Amino acid sequence: MATGSGSVIWFRKGLRVHDNPALEYASKGSEFLYPVFVIDPHYMESDPYAFSPGSSRSGVNRIRFLLESLKDLDSNLKKLGSRLLVLKGEPGEVMVRCLQEWKVKRLCFEYDTDPYYQALDFKVKDYASSSGVEIFSPVSHTLFNPSYIIEKNGGKPPLSYQSFLKIAGEPSCAKSELVMSYTSLPPIGNVGNLGVSEVPTLEELGYIDDEQAESTPFRGGESEALKRLNKSISDKAWVANFEKPKGDPSAFLKPATTVLSPYLKFGCLSSRYFYQCLQTIYKDAKKHTSPPVSLLGQLLWREFFYTTAFGTPNFDKMKGNRICKQIPWNEDQVMLAAWRDGKTGYPWIDAIMVQLLKWGWMHHLARHCVACFLTRGDLFVHWEQGRDVFERLLIDSDWAINNGNWMWLSCSSFFYQYNRIYSPISFGKKYDPDGKYIRHFLPVLKDMPKQYIYEPWTAPLSVQTKAKCIVGKDYPKPMVLHDSASKECKRKMGETYAMNKKMNGYVGDEDLRDLRRKLQNDDESKIRNQRPKLN
Ligand code: FAD
């Protein structure tokens, strides 16, 4: 039984000191405080067979970002007379051992809606309560508690952004005072023999830190998050006039949006503090933009997806997901690999995928373009396969937001205008006619004249030779002809929507198999053979 006067604060997301109610409660009236982070092999074990450096679930960029965030948290805790205790192993087992060894009275951790944590927390809570340890698990990763919104909506999550806004109203954090700092924290108690270590380096985790290779320019941690937030909100006019679809997706030296997503993902930045900062600016502004396009509106998209994800069984699958249209996607591994590796032959698409591989972050509209291309736009590959690539490589990879947006972009849910397809040629050109973005991420095309940069296969051979880039040798030929591929995709989507309508959404495996067979008869080989004529 718990007899001690210590508390554990178990960090998972919420890697911050500011506005952290679990930390606040754990430190109150405790003689000792044990701040713990568990290195989970499920996420962190290096996988030499993965398609890029990293573990099977995460690219090395996100692992580095996490380690930087932990280092920063440790340093912020040290300033308050504490430190981070890093342990390794299956988190459930490790936490049970901690509770047994330290005999604490309280276990505090931020509530997490992701299925992985729901299952894990169930086990840990079960053990803790049977041992008389008090559990405190507040909702502080989001502005709203998704359960309350679902309850207010009669037990189902609202499925449109507008209905979400109406039901959600104002979050309670709008008026509450957030605890942003401490003068000190209780000391660490005796840690015993649990194998507590310092925050490991990438090398200590078995990764090779290739300093020569271009990697993400975004550094992890609470200090960096607050710096980045302050920089964004110091330009009050920019915040007041922020209008999402108007940003330039090709701007990479100075991105058109805040790039706060990885900090929100790991909880290095409190979304509630971000919300309060925005409200202060709006109050003083003569006029400002509104949701869905405003910066506050972006934060509310995050809330929307968290709520729908939490209230929808099998949210991350097409099968058994009642809000997801059943579509006979193909699972062509060759097409998927070409897309994933930035080898589709469309420079705009390939540059975005290389930015993902190297940086782990791309602008929202760039994500739109590549997700549309892979699914309903050109290749008709299953959204779950694209989702997996994003999930592994993004530094802001977020279970609810990523799945929600993939369903959106593939017209599987939320958005249904499948005739609106992004052109892999003209869309990027609008923003970046010189192709600076392409030249940076695809240096093989750096000397291609501007008039051919989006369609290098149309350049005469003499031009390709001069640019030291022969299409088909140095850079791939386009894998599909966009005009006909997109037409085919629209036809397939049309037939599929008609079937979903006819069956009232109840499309079985057999129906899907039949439709796939029917569509395939006049499809795949035709698209592959229709390559554009090359010089
Ligand atoms: P800003 O425009 O500055 O917005 C501020 C914050 O609002 C973001 O940090 C983010 O937390 C939130 N936000 C913005 N747009 C969205 C959106 N559409 N949905 C939900 N929240 C939003 N975002 C992730 O955080 N993780 C993901 O795994 C992810 N996967 C995506 C997959 C696809 C296919 C697409 C199209 C979008 C995805 N997004 C994801 C949403 C969006 O692209 C990013 O949140 C945004 O580009 C991050 O950049 P930012 O922080 O500069 O955004």
CB of 398 shorter than 6 A to ligand 1: yes
Both tokens of residue 347?
A: 């420079």
> Is the same domain home to 174 and 286?
yes
CATH code of the domain containing 523: 1.10.579.10
Of ligand 1's listed atoms, the one at least distance from the Cα of 367 is 36
Does 278 fall in a domain? yes
Does 217 fall in a domain? no
CB of 325 shorter than 6 A to ligand 1: no
Mutate which of 261, 305, 375 for ligand 1? The one with the most ligand atoms within 8 Å of its CB, which is 261
As for how many domains the chain has, the answer is 3
Q: How far is CA 190 from CA 37, 104, 196, 200, in A?
A: 17, 11, 11, 21
Can you give the pLDDT of all 535 residues of the chain as single tens digits?
A: 555 689 999 999 999 999 999 999 999 999 999 999 999 998 999 999 999 999 999 999 999 999 999 999 999 999 999 999 999 999 999 999 999 999 999 999 999 999 999 999 999 999 999 999 999 999 999 999 999 999 999 999 999 999 999 999 999 999 999 999 999 999 999 999 999 999 999 999 999 877 778 889 999 999 999 999 999 999 999 999 999 888 999 999 999 999 999 999 999 999 999 999 999 999 999 999 999 999 999 999 999 999 999 999 999 999 999 999 999 999 999 999 999 999 999 999 999 999 999 999 999 999 999 999 999 999 999 999 999 999 999 999 999 999 999 999 999 999 999 999 999 999 999 999 999 999 999 999 999 999 999 999 999 999 999 999 999 999 999 999 999 999 999 999 999 999 999 988 889 899 999 999 988 876 655 655 555 555 5
Return the closest-CA partner of residue 186 out of 273, 83, 72, 296.
83
pTM given for the model: 0.96
Does 502 fall in a domain? yes
> Is the same domain home to 112 and 235?
no
CB of 384 shorter than 6 A to ligand 1: no
Closest residue to atom 23 of ligand 1, CA basis = 401
Closest residue to atom 13 of ligand 1, CA basis = 298
> Is the same domain home to 246 and 256?
yes
Query: Which of 90, 122, 140 lies at the terminal end of a domain, its last residue?
Result: 140
Does 190 fall in a domain? no
CATH code of the domain containing 56: 3.40.50.620
Does 316 fall in a domain? no
Both tokens of residue 437?
A: 């973005």
> Is the same domain home to 134 and 153?
no
CB of 482 shorter than 6 A to ligand 1: no
The span from the CA of 27 to the CA of 300, in Å, is 31
Residues 411, 446 contacting (CB under 8 angstroms): no
Does 506 fall in a domain? yes
> Is the same domain home to 64 and 165?
no
Q: What residues form the annotated binding site for FAD?
A: 257-261, 298-305, 396-398
> Is the same domain home to 71 and 127?
yes
CATH code of the domain containing 280: 1.25.40.80
> Is the same domain home to 306 and 340?
no
Query: Which of 311, 344, 373 lies at the terminal end of a domain, its last residue?
Result: 311
CB of 264 shorter than 6 A to ligand 1: yes
Q: Which domain holds residue 22?
A: 1-140
| Sign, CA torsion 370/373/376/382 | negative
Q: How far is the CA of 364 from the centre of ligand 1 (A)?
A: 6
Query: Which of 80, 115, 140 lies at the terminal end of a domain, its last residue?
Result: 140
The span from the CA of 429 to the CA of 346, in Å, is 12
Both tokens of residue 179?
A: 């605890």
Both tokens of residue 70?
A: 């932990």
The span from the CA of 120 to the CA of 343, in Å, is 39
Closest residue to atom 44 of ligand 1, CA basis = 364
> Is the same domain home to 506 and 417?
yes
Does 322 fall in a domain? no
Strand 32-39 relative to strand 85-88, pairing: parallel
The conformation of residue 454, written as its DSSP 8-state character, comes to T
